[in-house]
A = this chain, B = another copy of it.
């Protein structure tokens, strides 16, 4: 049996936080670097936190443990929100509060998959999910999907997914609105995915972190809003995106009660429970969301339009999220790709390498258009245009 100083090899083999490999390069550049690699917002939250001493009088238990399923009042408010905004029929006890959407996704994977069972990932997708699944011992099967949908809007989704199913497939991870591609699925596309999940009795983990950040009048169609499939869906939302409170690390899952109870067991043994204090801080933000949500979406859409207009390179215009995702080199030229990424950093723009989003995207780059203020964004665009022009890409 390996003992000290040996560590668990399955853990040391995991990736660290994404972008770790460029940490030194980023540190060296300091403030000169315009950071387009991370999904974040440069703005103060649209909802102003109740930061005054009356808060402690209203919530005298703010410093104590609360129900590990979540603070009761927040669960109740979120069940209303999910009913109204997402058309998913839920009770408060079908809501589980977590430490960020990451925590809810981790709890979901542990609960529906045993080690060595397989989960299908529709890619490209949120890079941390791969490690979330590996930590739970899951086997991963990647299915290229979202970029393909831009290229083939009428793709026969059922037939496409059927090529990848195996006897070991137990769950499917759907990250739509999609990070990094910005793709939004229409009702018909969602229906094909849920039909596939029903046919094969797959658990569907629906990561809807980017709800609210959907542009041009498109709508979010949550798989769980369809009662034929809702029992086998775990839907995950977050306070990090449209709510603009990534620093609070709060998210929540919506699922049938037996799944919520299993997921709570995971969360109890990972963190005990989400912070009472931050949950209470978010109550008014949920209650008053209609006052500020549209403004955030409209502003982010204008940032996208500005970015799309100025960046002189061809890519699919994102329908949602705060990213653009595009191919920068040919399949045959890995050195060309590496050198291009490095030139972006050297020129003072951090970018996220495509490989993190799926094995099929090693020639892609993701940029975030909301993490830096417009004047800094302009500077980044200028630097990028100059690089892409010299590469003959614009």
Contacts and interface: CB of A to CB of B under 8 A. Distances in A.
Contacts of A62: 247
A274 B275 CA distance: 10
Q: Decide if the interface of chain A is mainly helix, strand, loop or mixed.
A: loop
Nearest to A9: B114
A275 B51 CA distance: 16
Interface string A36-73: 00101100110001011101100011111110100000
Nearest to A39: B65
Nearest to A243: B63
Contact of A38 (B12, B65, B200): B65
Contact of A111 (B11, B201, B265, B276): B11
A248 interface: yes
A266 interface: yes
A203 B3 contact: yes
Interface in A209-267: 231-232, 240, 244-250, 258-259, 261-262, 264-266
Interface residues on A, range: 35 or more
B99 A265 contact: no
A10 interface: yes
A61 B167 CA distance: 47
B270 A63 contact: no
Interface in A3-57: 3-5, 7-12, 14-17, 38, 40-41, 44-45, 49, 51-53, 55-56
Given A8-B114, A40-B64, A52 B53 contact: yes
A11 to B, nearest CB: 5
B17 A268 contact: yes
Number of copies: 2
A224 to B, nearest CB: 13
Given A111-B8, A167-B1, A66 B247 contact: yes
Nearest to A277: B247
A40 B11 contact: no
Interface of A: 1-5, 7-12, 14-17, 38, 40-41, 44-45, 49, 51-53, 55-56, 60-66, 68, 98-100, 102-103, 106, 110-115, 117, 128, 131-132, 134-135, 137, 167-170, 200-203, 231-232, 240, 244-250, 258-259, 261-262, 264-266, 268-278
Closest 6 CB pairs of A and B: A247-B276, A3-B201, A249-B275, A99-B271, A131-B269, A102-B272
8 contacts: A4-B201, A8-B262, A40-B65, A62-B247, A63-B244, A102-B270, A135-B266, A277-B278
